[in-house]
């Protein structure tokens, strides 16, 4: 699909975000083919739409239309990572993340890595670790899975590996985090 038929939207991090954007597009009578994390595939070229009105509506609910091509790529990287972390069973631990990401986006991984670091001030790998730890916090709060099950679900090689990364990021062991009265979680779009 040609780029002139796509819109890129910043801060879409979950299925509810997709529904919120669909609601706005429907309200504005914008015909579209598909809405997924960070991206809308339109039925007609972008020029046929009142994008200023769309920007205003998106901004009111915390989203932003991304028009800079490099920022579109960065947002795509973030969305692939979020999807991979939150749905690892569907991806079954890609053979090699850098090759997987380069294939998905259609750009050389070295370029993607440098661009991401330049625009976000953090490496792709560290961003992915932050996403995994934030999801671990969520799973610990729900208290439905053991730490061993969480480590397996998130494709950690061991509980120790998960625990070490968790402590590096949060300052707490997973067990100590579970005991906290105020468990601080971060919005995904702020990671």
Length of the chain: 191
Q: What is the pLDDT of residues 140-152, one digit of tens each?
A: 999 899 999 999 9
Predicted TM-score of the model (pTM):
0.78
State whether 53 and 94 are in the same domain. Answer: no
For residue 44, the domain's CATH number is 3.30.70.100
- Who wins on pLDDT, 143 or 185? 143
Overall domain count for the chain:
3
Q: Across the strands, what pairs with 36?
A: 39
* Full residue range of the structural domain in which residue 30 is found: 3-67
pLDDT at 54: 95
State whether 132 and 109 are in the same domain. Answer: no
- Residues 40/34, Cβ–Cβ less than 8 Å: yes
Q: What percent of the chain is modeled with pLDDT above 90? A: 72
How far is the C-alpha of 124 from the C-alpha of 88, rounded, in Å?
A: 17
For residue 147, the domain's CATH number is 1.10.10.60
Q: State whether residue 185 is helix, strand or coil.
A: coil
- Who wins on pLDDT, 93 or 81? 81
Calculate the average pLDDT of the chain.
89
State whether 130 and 186 are in the same domain. Answer: yes
State whether 11 and 62 are in the same domain. Answer: yes
pLDDT-derived band at 14, boundaries 50, 70, 90: confident
Asked if residue 183 has pLDDT above 80, the reply is: no
Asked if residue 136 has pLDDT above 80, the reply is: yes
The whole-number average pLDDT for the span 41-51 is 93
């Amino acid at each position: 699909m040609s780029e002139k038929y796509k819109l890129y939207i910043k801060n879409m991090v979950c299925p509810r975000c997709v529904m919120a954007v669909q609601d706005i597009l429907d309200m504005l009578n914008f015909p579209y083919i598909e809405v997924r994390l960070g991206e809308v595939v339109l039925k007609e070229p972008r020029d046929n739409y009142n994008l200023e009105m769309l920007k205003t509506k998106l901004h009111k609910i915390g989203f932003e239309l991304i028009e800079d091509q490099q920022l579109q790529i960065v947002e795509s990287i973030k969305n692939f990572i979020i999807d991979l972390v939150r749905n690892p069973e569907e991806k079954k631990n890609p053979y090699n993340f850098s090759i997987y990401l380069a294939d998905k986006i259609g750009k050389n991984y070295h370029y993607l890595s440098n661009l991401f670091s330049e625009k976000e001030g953090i490496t792709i790998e560290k961003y992915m670790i932050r996403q995994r730890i934030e999801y671990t916090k969520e799973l610990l709060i729900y208290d439905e899975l053991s730490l061993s099950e969480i480590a397996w679900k998130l494709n950690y090689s061991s509980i120790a590996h998960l625990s070490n990364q968790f402590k590096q990021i949060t300052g707490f062991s997973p067990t100590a985090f579970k005991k906290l009265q105020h468990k601080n979680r971060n919005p995904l779009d702020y990671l």
